Structure 1
Amino acid sequence: MLNIQDLSYYIGDRVLYDKVSLHVGERDRIGLIGVNGAGKSTLLRLIAGEYTPAAGTITKPSDYTIGFLNQDMLSLESHKPIREVALEAFAEVWQIEARIKQLTQELAEDYTEDKVQELTQLQARFEAMEGYRLPAQAEAILEGLGFKTEDLQRPLSIFSGGWRMRVMLAKLLLQKPSLLMLDEPTNHLDLPSIQWLEQYLLQYPGAMIVVSHDRYFLNRLVNRIVEVRQGKLEIYEGNYDFYEKEKATRRALQMAAYENQQEKIKQTERFIERFRAKATKARQVQSKIKMLERMERIELPENEQETIRLKFPIARTPGKELICLKQISKRFGDLRLLENTDATVYRGDRIALIGANGKGKSTLLRILAGTEPCEGIREVGHQVDIAYYAQHQIEALNLNNDILSEMVRSCPQKTESYLRSLLGGFLFHGDDVFKKISVLSGGERARVALAKVLSSEANLLLLDEPTNHLDIPSVNVLIDALQEYEGSYVAVSHDRHFLQAIANKVWYIDNGKIKEFLGTYQEFEEWYAEEWLRALATAQANAVAQTQTPAVSSNQERRQRLKELQREWRRCQKTIEQLEAHLMALEEEQKQIEMQMAQPAFYNDATQVVAVQQHYEQLKKTIDDLMAQWEAQIQELEALESQIQNLKGD
């Protein structure tokens, strides 16, 4: 367990943390939340030992390990294959393996008791650390995070920052530290990878602290929410939904207490004012004054439920069909993304475009925008005005402008009063609008770019990952803005809460085709899961059917076929029994060798050590091969039994 006690930390004159405490238990799942700039990442770095607190302590057992995934890892360089980079998590294991090989060779030429004892200890430790299983575990985790099998031997240096982050995440998951700290782990993952990571982390044996703006992810994963707010840590014993309800309850209680205290203060002040000049009341007046001075004032709770209340009108009403794609194809070299596919965006559509990375979502969005060449026909409907939001919109902001000037440059026809109201809806209040773009955080710049897009009066928005860099309050602002928007849109995002809140239709790309589901994202997930199970059942049924012969036309033929199948069944059953007997004998031999290798005296004969170890490795391979044969025979037996039952049923 880890314990933070009375921790304080300052950045210049700013108090980031003021005597905060937190206890992290062995199986705690903590979601660390707060607005951008509150200090979430700083707290993780303090725990990791990268920063030193100004006061207070962070204590943990001597064998307590910490794994920290942070955004700095995006820039890591290596020319090693990503499989090897992930396996660097076990440097000690590979050092042990190398020393075992070295000792084995040395014993063949120079036998000593010390070397025998060291070899025995190292082999036991190598087994205890699961040295033989680690490569397979690394491959499973990397593939779960979205890498293809052929990617595993490619160097880390050829991958983008987001994919490198996945390798670092795999490396941490393999290490299984006592405390796993993840700073925005879903930022660079697509939906399938996020879902895989959720399932993996649900089974994680240690504690974890997760910083995330993905409330769906937090709801699925965490059992405690710790909010960083005004230099303090506020703890809620539940997931994000519980936090929202509990916070509202706490605020209501605090507001009631505040109002009661304010009423009491007013009554006391009226008493003091009324009787201040009366000598007979002097003692009581002084007592009341002292009471007010000693009173611990309850703060007025902030209203943090900022919701946008602005209308986003469109300049003109378009026709029924906004964009029609006909027989669209798109390839990049040998990579086929789209193949002779059709799709139409209609007036009133609010489309969530989803899928794994590399399926062509952003490419399709650019095709809709008319900025990506392709084969086929793209038809834009009557009076359609398109606004396209992507990463380059953030990068195109003029760093020398302040926020208000940037909006004026984009919308010269709008009044300053309107633009200030709009920016207030995007959480830029008062003098915030005069901040230079150059000093804004990534999330703040994204909000400015989104405000520009939504105020453009376009009637079709194309939004590529608009929730990237946004904290949860900012995502809520964007949701409110899109719900108030009068036009249509297509949005690419991996934020499931966002998709559920804004979409009435889902597009996904399957085998080069754009497919459509009418309904919300949650309804799509449920439907897709059912379709997947139905497809699996059909595939299994087809596999069984392929092993069956065509129906026989007569009773005599049926009896003859039944005899043949029964004969095949007996042969298969006999083969299985033989394999099982062989396996039992080999496993017993393996057990005897392992017992022999566990004895120190075994290493007295170096030549024997080498020979036995080589035989042991060959024995393990033979057992694996026989197990594969046994599994194949079992499947054949089951297929034969199914055919026999079908013939008997006929």
Structure 2
Amino acid sequence: MITLKNIVLRRGAKVLLEGTSVTINPGEHVALVGRNGAGKSSLFALLNGNLHEDGGEFSIPRHWHMAQVAQNMPETEESATDFVVAGDARLVALQAALQEADASGDGMAIAQAHTELADAGAYDAQARAQALILGLGFAPDELERPVNSFSGGWRMRLQLARALMAPSDLLLLDEPTNHLDLDALVWLEGWLARYPGTLVVISHDREFLDAVTQVTLHLEHQGLTRYGGNYSYFEEQRALKLEQQQAAYSRQQGQIAHLQKFIDRFKAKATKAKQAQSRVKALERMERIAPVLAEAEFSFEFEEPLQLPNPMLAIRDAEMGYQSKDGSTRKTILRGVNASILAGQRIGILGANGQGKSTFIKSVVGDIPLLSGEITQGKGLAIGYFAQQELDVLREDENPLQHFMHMARQYGTEAPNATREQDLRNFLGRFQFSGDMMAQPVGSMSGGEKARLVLAMLVWQRPNLLLLDEPTNHLDLVTREALGMALNGFDGTLMLVSHDRALLRAVSDDFWLVSEGRVRPFDGDLEDYQQYVLEQQRRQRAELAKSAQSAPLTQRVAQSDDAAPVAGSGAAPNQKELRRQEAQARQKLLEQTRPLKKRLEQLEKQLAASQADKLALEQELAGGGASAQQWAEQGRKLKQLQDDIDAAEEEWLTVSETLQALAPPDA
């Protein structure tokens, strides 16, 4: 287990932890939460050995292997698959040992290396790496592309896949969802839920934390408090704790006032002096309860738009994509886009990365021209646009006030808000930019502070159509909640691209799906979309498995074994060697399918029993005669039985597909 006992942790002169003790047990999935700047990343640095405690005792099992996402941008011509496979350091070392043994002709060393490679999962390492890459949103034809050919966000996904590839007892993830879309996020949740080791994760996505963690560590006031539940449980328990603390504080203050009143009244009277003195001592001995210090919560709101055209805009037969300046080359992303965006609509845009969500938003804004078709804007349309790369266009050498003064001059007499310097200062103060921060260069600000500045600039523009493309990437939970509340109070039209399901669920009334070159309404809610994503991922895995199984058995063995040469020779293997390889492959297949077949039998028995219980309960309900309380209890049992049946059927289908994919083509 990981143990912190009376830990003192500092960064420079700032004390982050003071006399803190906490234990993380093996296999626990832990959310580390707290305000920005509280010290979460510094605690990670303690866990990974990059920072040492300034006091107290910190211990972690010596034999534990740790994995975390490297923060540097990878620069290599390796293929995506090879780059991720190399995340398994033990496997790489064993492959190097095999090469050395093969070069020296040492038969015993070669045999030992093959045995250890088999134990390390070398035969399916490439398949496992590719499953990680595909799960994180890459296309099958990108598996062999050089790492350097991907953009920065996709390369960071490969770093995440590389960390997941490494066998580990402890996995540290700091904001792993920042570069992911909703499809990849759903996949990652499933992977982490099955991860058998100890997981510590920092994230500002409450639904992600609820899905993958069962313990929450709250970092606040230089201390760590452990809660035995996910993030939602932590919020409930912390609110209750604060309420109890405030009530206890109020009671104690009343007691103190009563004692002090007696002391002040009777301390000068000889007959009461002893009683007064005893109350003075009681006050001195009393352990004072601290008041609840209310943290300054952040909130803001959008002003009422000056106009509300309806429709806001209409898109007719649009072809969206990119073309060169001279028009000689063009790349079409979306075709046949027809849509009307009405006043008051609140639309969540769904779809995997690379399908064209940002292309659609940029085309609507006008950042990229249509390849064909037309967009007709309503009279008085005022678009407020938050782009994914919006933080990059801020001028790093200028302060927030200078940004607003530039914006005010740009609008001139048509500015939607006041333009006097004092008015601009007051406006910035609403977004927690005051005092020294008003004059602080943007380049020295955190990502969250920059995002808050962009939100302030957006609100100042007083738009009637908001287009938000991943606005929460740099926002903490408090600011995300403030954004959600502000959007719910917005009177105009909203179009939102986000992987934050809590925000999407809170502010969207309709969903549009961008997929396969089209933009169309999605008939369902976010839960339906998650099922759609999981089904798409299952279909993709089945197709890949079927494609892999279509190769000859000996070829599949060679592929899964990374085409390792036969000991002592570079020649092709003889027939005896081929038969040995086929026997190994059959044995490996048997080992893979045996537990799956056993699980299918268990599920079939479980389904039969649950369906029999359900039928009996339905017959009992049909008979009548039960009280209202009994009806409610039987209804709950019936719902639980149906949930169990649905879950078992879903698992039966998944296991059956896996078993079918593993079977040879002639089976």
TM bucket, shorter chain: 0.7 to 0.9
Query: Secondary structure, in 3 states, of the residue corresponding to 1:264?
Result: helix
Q: How does 1:285-300 map onto structure 2 within 5 Å?
A: 285-300=276-291
Native 8 Å contact 1:310 1:425 kept in 2:
no
What corresponds to 2:483 in structure 1?
478
Following TM superposition, by how much is the alpha carbon of 1:354 offset from its aligned partner in structure 2, in angstroms? 1.8
2-side partners of 1:275 and 1:354: how far apart?
Answer: 73
Question: Counterparts of 1:425 and 1:383 in 2: how far apart (Å)?
Answer: 27
Structural mapping, 1:370-449, within 5 Å:
370-374=366-370, 375-399=372-396, 402-403=399-400, 406-407=403-404, 410=407, 413=418, 426-427=431-432, 435-449=440-454
The answer for the alignment partner of 1:96 in structure 2 is 94
User: Does the Cα contact within 8 Å between 2:300 and 2:482 map onto a contact in 1?
Assistant: no
Match of 1:360 among 356, 360, 367: 356
Show the counterpart of 2:342: 346
Kindly indicate whether residue 616 of structure 2 is the aligned counterpart of residue 616 of structure 1.
no
> How far 1:56 moved relative to its partner?
2.1
Any conservation in 1 of the 2:29–2:214 contact (CA below 8 Å)? yes
Q: Please state how far the C-alpha of 1:296 moved relative to its aligned partner.
A: 2.4
Counterpart of 1:12, as a letter, is: G
* 1:479-522 per-position Cα deviation (integer Å, ceiling 9, x unaligned): 11111112111111111111001111111112222111477545
Q: Structure 1 residue 9 and structure 2 residue 14: aligned?
A: no
Distance of 2:156 and 2:198 partners within structure 1? 21
Q: 1:499 to 1:400 in 2, by over 3 A?
A: same
Question: Matches of 2:76 and 2:334 in 1, distance apart?
Answer: 33
Would the aligned equivalents of 2:9 and 2:55 in 1 still touch at CA under 8 Å? yes
Match of 2:608 in 1: none
| 8 A contact 1:176–1:206 mirrored in 2 | no
From 134, 137, 143, the equivalent of 1:143 is 134
Deviations 1:258-278 (A, max 9, x none): 111111122122222222322
Residue type matched to 1:617 in 2? Q
Matches within 5 A, 1:591-630: 613=577, 616-617=580-581
Q: Distance in 2 between matches of 1:52 and 1:609?
A: 54
Compare CA radii of gyration and give the structure with the larger one: 1
Question: How far did 1:180 drift?
Answer: 0.4
Shift of 1:458: 1.4
| CA–CA separation in structure 2 for the residues paired with 1:200 and 1:160 | 24
Structure 1 residues 624, 57: closer, same or farther in 2, change over 3 A? closer
1:173 corresponds to which letter in structure 2? L
Quote how far apart the aligned CAs of 1:82 are. 1.8
1:286-332 deviation digits (Å, cap 9, x = unpaired): 3333333333222221334836364521122x222001111111234
Q: Does the 8 Å CA contact 2:67/2:171 hold for their aligned counterparts?
A: yes
Structure 2 residue 459 is matched with structure 1 residue 469: no
Range with bigger deviation, 175-184 or 95-104: 95-104
Task: Check 1:321–1:609 CA distance in 2 against 1; reply closer, same or farther (3 A cut).
Answer: closer
Q: Deviation per CA, 1:63-98, whole angstroms, max 9, x where unpaired?
A: 11111225x23x232221121111112343344345
Could you tell me how far apart the structure 2 residues matched to 1:510 and 1:216 are?
24
Please, what TM-score do these two structures have when normalized by structure 1? 0.78
Paired residue for 1:207?
198
Secondary structure of 1:153's aligned partner:
coil
1:274 matched to 2:238: no
SS of the residue corresponding to residue 321 of structure 2 reads strand
Checking the alignment, whether the CA contact within 8 Å between 1:338 and 1:512 is kept in structure 2 is: yes
Note if contact 1:310-1:422 (Cα within 8 Å) is conserved in structure 2.
Answer: no
Q: Distance in 1 between matches of 2:115 and 2:530?
A: 47
Alignment correspondent of 1:189: 180
1:452 pairs with 2:457: yes
Structure 2: gaps (5+ residues): 323-328, 409-416, 544-552, 558-566, 591-659
Partners of 2:53 and 2:479 in 1: CA distance: 30
Measured in 2, the distance between the counterparts of 1:402 and 1:428 equals 10
Tell whether 2:116 aligns with 1:125. yes
Look up the match of 2:644. Answer: none
**Residue aligned with 1:273, SS:** helix
Which amino acid is the alignment partner of residue 77 of structure 1? E
Deviation of 1:127 after TM superposition, in Å, equals 1.7
The SS at the match of 1:352 is strand
Task: State the SS of the aligned residue for 2:180.
Answer: coil
Task: Give the % identical residues.
Answer: 32
| Secondary structure of 1:133's aligned partner | helix
Cα offset for 1:103? 3.9
Distance in 2 (alpha carbons) for counterparts of 1:329 and 1:467:
29
- Are 1:28 and 1:207, in contact at CA under 8 Å, matched by a contact in 2? yes
Question: For 1:262, which of 253, 268, 281 is the aligned residue?
Answer: 253
Partner of 1:229: 220
Q: Which runs of 4+ in 1 moved over 6 A?
A: 414-421, 529-533, 605-611, 621-630
Return 328-337 or 211-220, whichever deviates more.
Answer: 328-337
Is the deviation greater in 470-479 or in 5-14? Answer: 5-14
> Structure 2 vs 1, CA of residues 422 and 221 (structure 1 numbering), >3 Å: closer, same or farther?
farther
Would you say the 8 A contact 1:4–1:57 is kept in 2?
Answer: yes
Contact 1:322 1:347 (C-alpha < 8 Å) held by counterparts: yes
| Distance (whole Å) between structure 2 residues aligned to residue 347 and residue 166 of structure 1 | 37
- What is the letter of the counterpart of residue 357 of structure 2? K
TM-score, normalization: structure 2?
0.76
| Deviation of 1:420 (Å) | 6.8
In the TM superposition, residue 208 of structure 1 has moved relative to its aligned partner by 0.1
Unaligned runs of 5+ in 1: 108-114, 541-582, 591-602, 635-650
| Superposed displacement of residue 360, structure 1 | 1.1
- Give 3-state SS (helix, strand or coil) of 2:3's partner: strand
Contact 1:504/1:519, CA 8 A, preserved across alignment:
no
> Residues 413 and 240 of structure 1: is their aligned pair in 2 closer, same or farther, counting only changes over 3 Å?
same
Number of residue pairs aligned between Structure 1 and Structure 2: 560
SS of the equivalent of 1:233 reads: strand
Alignment partner, residue 239 of structure 1: 230
Q: Deviations over 1:429-461 (max 9, x none)?
A: 777656553432110110121122123221111
In structure 2, relative to structure 1, the CA distance for the partners of 1:530 and 1:192 (3 Å cut) is closer
Relative to structure 1, is the Cα distance of residues 424 and 22 closer, same or farther in structure 2, using a 3 angstrom cutoff? farther
Letter in 1 for 2:355: K
Pair 1:314 & 2:278 matched: no
CA distance 1:410–1:250, shift in 2 (3 Å): farther
Question: What secondary structure is seen at the aligned counterpart in 1 of 2:316?
Answer: strand
Q: Secondary structure at the match of 1:475?
A: helix
Q: Over residues 330-357 of structure 1, what are the superposed CA-to-partner deviations in whole Å (9 max), with x where a residue is unaligned?
A: 2346753111211121000111112111
- SS in structure 1 opposite 2:35? coil
1:218 Cα deviation (Å)? Answer: 0.6
Match of 2:74 in 1: 76
Counterpart for residue 42 of structure 1:
42
CA separation of 1:397/1:102 partners in 2, compared to 1, >3 Å: closer, same or farther?
A: closer
